Amino acid sequence: MARHTFVCIDGHTCGNPVRVIKEGGPELIGRNMSEKRKHFISEYDWIRTGLMFEPRGHDIMSGSILYPAHNPENDFAILFIETSGCLPMCGHGTIGTITIGLEEGLIKPRKTGKVLMEAPAGLIEIEYKQTKDKIDWVKLKNVKSYLAAETLSIACPDLGVLTFDVAYGGNFYAIIDPQNNFSGMQDYTAGQLIQFSQIIRQRINEKYPERFIHPEDESIRDVSHILWAGKPLNPSSSGRNAVFYGDKAIDRSPCGTGTSARMAQLYAKNKLQLGEEFIHESYIGSTFIGKIEEVTEINGIPAIIPSIKGWAKIYGYNTIYIDEEDDPFAHGFQV
């Protein structure tokens, strides 16, 4: 059959889109979500591009497909589908999927107020607060996050040489703090940050090949995201960021994995302590509340377990067709 139907529920987490595929996702082979993610990428990536890229999606679209848990003690498993690929972990995607999944009855937790979610990057413990049929907030305990490298440098067109750190929070982030050649993300347009990011991400991965590989899952590798730090809009917030991902996206949410990487970096530099709250603003000013929940290690590297708390809203139902016989743009396009 050439026409594939996907029943979707669309929402956003603090401004960044989340499209949950309720029906139409493929059956995948694998003992866990890391293996299933590989199967999806090799056989079904057209579903991601068809649903995330134009004309059915856009540069910032992101989504998820739900699967049964592999371990009967967990509630469900998730595949993240984004314009940037299938991320090992996505914070805003988790907050959005949990909100949509609970409000729409797709996720039925064993214990009220708690969900155990299997992500490709690892097991994620989630808490939520519900009032009547609405989810007020979702708090996720993310995977072990750590500072992977300090004080690296890269030449950036227009700005000059930039110094940056690399931290892992579910994806690898190059974190660029304000410095001589960069006054902070508040002084640049999203278009400028996208232009700089496209070039420096490529240069970083060329200059530091094989440098950023997760110690426990080598399919998670390379700098995929750039976090531009800056001055918060609200003086009581801890920081603000513009996170670049995919080819042309600046996260509208404060970015869950980016906030986790940021907290791991600050912890390693003794600028954030266990138990301390970290209020992170996004490019549009929406906030996540981060916290260092535990201090741990990964393969001997000091690490933290961060939590991220935020909210999401459903804005509609969407039945989408991908018709390979009739539509020349069935698998989407990017310009």
Nearest CA-CA partner of 193 in 159, 237, 168: 159
Catalytic annotation, pick one of 14, 86, 156, 255 = 255
SS3 letters across 265-317: HHHHCCCCCCCCEEEEECCCCCEEEEEEEEEEEECCEEEEEEEEEECEEEEEE
Give the pairing of strands 76-82 and 62-67: antiparallel
Rounded-to-integer distance, Cα 164 and Cα 151, Å? 5
Give Dmax over CA atoms of the chain in angstroms: 58
Q: Please work out the total of residues on this chain that contact ligand PYC, with binding judged by CB under 6 A.
A: 10
The token pair that represents 25 in the structure block = 């996702």
Q: Which is nearer to ligand PYC, 306 or 330 (CB)?
A: 306
CB of residue 64 to ligand PYC, shortest distance in Å: 12
Q: Which is nearer to ligand PYC, 257 or 265 (CB)?
A: 257
SS3 letters across 46-68: HHHHHHHCECCCCCCCEEEEEEC
Catalytic annotation, pick one of 8, 14, 86, 90 = 90
Rounded-to-integer distance, Cα 103 and Cα 87, Å? 24
The stretches of 208-255 forming alpha helices (DSSP H) are none
**Per-position x/- string for 236-255, each x denoting binding to ligand PYC as judged by CB under 6 A, each - no binding:** ---------x-----x-x-x
CB of residue 70 to ligand PYC, shortest distance in Å: 22
Nearest CA-CA partner of 199 in 240, 235, 244, 236: 244
CB of residue 241 to ligand PYC, shortest distance in Å: 11
Q: Does residue 256 belong to the site contacting ligand PYC (CB under 6 A)? A: yes
Q: Is residue 90 annotated as a catalytic residue, yes or no?
A: yes
Q: Which is nearer to ligand PYC, 253 or 287 (CB)?
A: 253
Interface with ligand PYC (CB under 6 A), residue from 97, 257, 286, 307? 257
The stretches of 112-268 forming alpha helices (DSSP H) are 190-207, 256-268
**Per-position x/- string for 61-100, each x denoting binding to ligand PYC as judged by CB under 6 A, each - no binding:** --------------------------x--xxx--------
Q: Does residue 117 belong to the site contacting ligand PYC (CB under 6 A)? A: no
CB of residue 180 to ligand PYC, shortest distance in Å: 28
Q: Is residue 255 annotated as a catalytic residue, yes or no?
A: yes
Distance of CA 171 to the CA centre of its chain: 8
CB of residue 259 to ligand PYC, shortest distance in Å: 8
Q: Show which residues are catalytic.
A: 90, 255
Question: Under the rule (CB under 6 A), what is the footprint of ligand PYC?
Answer: 87, 90-92, 245, 251, 253, 255-257
